[in-house]
Chains A and B, each alone.
Chain A
């Protein structure tokens, strides 16, 4: 029984890794090889010539950088403004508090895809199409982040907040040096999810950007995949190059990422 379990586990794991291994192996093959059977993919000659070519003749690295820049900006600002908003909703007893909360909650029901056409028109009217602002700004208001962070802020006892206040701390200090540190894991997990979401965002950049200096990876990659002459090596080199940075990040932050996902899952 035990060995069966083990074998099945290994087979499943193999199928999860196989595409990525195949991608890596194909990417170091020579262009124009004859492939008749599976083994041909895994035998020499190998060559890094295509890597050279792609790196020197395309903007792939530039787009990777764009993807990172956009994702980093989106992450920082999304989490920052969501934290501020959810702090207000959770801890400041202002008028219309419940109205604001429902106003944000309603946003959960509006999927980005459903407003993408009017959003295009709005961005056009604001003159931010085809710019970094246009890539970043529309992504910043995340009702999900507000709702999730609010539930974490709610978890901080009011007594604690009040006792700090008695010591003379201002609201900013409460937010900055009490609330944020206490909810750091939640903030981190929100940040990670936002980052991955932005990294994968396709539809909006695809519609809003026409200048190839502003492309992010998801929209840049298809432009490199020539519809004729579908050699396998080039596409796999492109895939590999654009995945390496994020894979590396993943390896470094795996623990935090895993923790982050499980946290939001429980609250969400």
Chain B
């Protein structure tokens, strides 16, 4: 754009102002304010007393914190690969030419528009023993004997399964769409040419489709890792973090420390650990992406 220097600066200021003001007030400033908070005993009511590095020391020796971080990490490990596989499978289904093609697309995406509270409560009731959908369904197809029940929500292992299944069901839609559109970019001629050369469906998927999906897979993987690490509400509603806090993610611990135990200073300190972890993850992502391009 041709424009005088001064005018450019003024105009840019005008255009940037709304964003920058809000950005500084609600993202940058809290980030700085948070550092202050970590050095204080700070309650919901007011700032109490300066405690130096106490909050940090306490955190280093607080098993609950590290366990919660592990739980969030575990959730990442549990949901990221499954999410990608499921999203690809769904995209393959919906990418096939058939009369139901459009229907599949709608069906796979519908759960994604539900509110997180709805999805979580639906999950809670679906996995309830005795009357819940899953157990009654398993009884109905005789996979589970009439007289026995699976207690999805009170066994640590099973409650992870329940939370992961609900999360996949609820959020796979976005990734599914991304894969679907990536698949649809592959020109039909390529597939047809391959078929003429005698390739079967499996060859086509493995040698043509899959390589084509790899850039989007990289993006999805990183986004998924970060968003899974921030899991909170599904677990909070479905298991409450139990049994024995064994499914409690770090964000829930931060909430409980800050608002239930009324200890904002310590909660802020934990937040910075989350920040550092996510920072490292993002840095890794940046590094991987740039290395490949070079």
Residue of B nearest to A246 (CB): B113
Contact partners of B272 in chain A: CB under 8 A: 114
**A23 adjacent to B140 (CB under 8 Å):** no
**A118 adjacent to B31 (CB under 8 Å):** yes
**A93 adjacent to B1 (CB under 8 Å):** yes
**B174 adjacent to A19 (CB under 8 Å):** no
Taking a contact as CB atoms closer than 8 A, the residue among A95, A119, A265 that contacts B219 in the complex is A265
Residue of A nearest to B271 (CB): A114
**A250 adjacent to B100 (CB under 8 Å):** no
**A232 adjacent to B125 (CB under 8 Å):** yes
A85 to B16, alpha carbons, bound, how many Å? Answer: 5
**Secondary structure at chain A's binding surface: helix, strand, loop or mixed?**
helix
- A41 beta carbon closer than 8 Å to chain B: yes
Question: Could you give, for residues 90-120 of chain A, a 1 whenever the CB lies within 8 Å of some chain B CB and a 0 otherwise?
Answer: 0111110100100010011111011111111
Range of interface residues on chain B? 35 or more
Q: Which of B75-83, B102-110, B155-163 contacts A (4 or more CB under 8 A)?
A: B102-110
Residue of A nearest to B175 (CB): A265
**B12 adjacent to A88 (CB under 8 Å):** yes
Range of interface residues on chain A? 35 or more
- B288 beta carbon closer than 8 Å to chain A: no
Contact partners of A108 in chain B: CB under 8 A: 282
Q: How far is the CB of B99 from chain A (nearest CB, A)?
A: 11
Question: Could you give, for residues 3-46 of chain B, a 1 whenever the CB lies within 8 Å of some chain A CB and a 0 otherwise?
Answer: 10100110111011011101101111111011001000010000
A89 to B109, alpha carbons, bound, how many Å? Answer: 34
Contact partners of B116 in chain A: CB under 8 A: 200, 202, 218
**B26 adjacent to A119 (CB under 8 Å):** yes
A85 to B13, alpha carbons, bound, how many Å? Answer: 9
A141 to B28, alpha carbons, bound, how many Å? Answer: 11
**A115 adjacent to B31 (CB under 8 Å):** yes
Contact partners of A137 in chain B: CB under 8 A: 22, 25-26
- B194 beta carbon closer than 8 Å to chain A: no
18 contacts between A and B (CB under 8 A): A22-B133, A35-B131, A37-B140, A85-B16, A92-B1, A107-B27, A109-B282, A111-B226, A113-B271, A113-B274, A115-B275, A117-B34, A117-B258, A118-B30, A162-B1, A218-B233, A246-B115, A262-B177
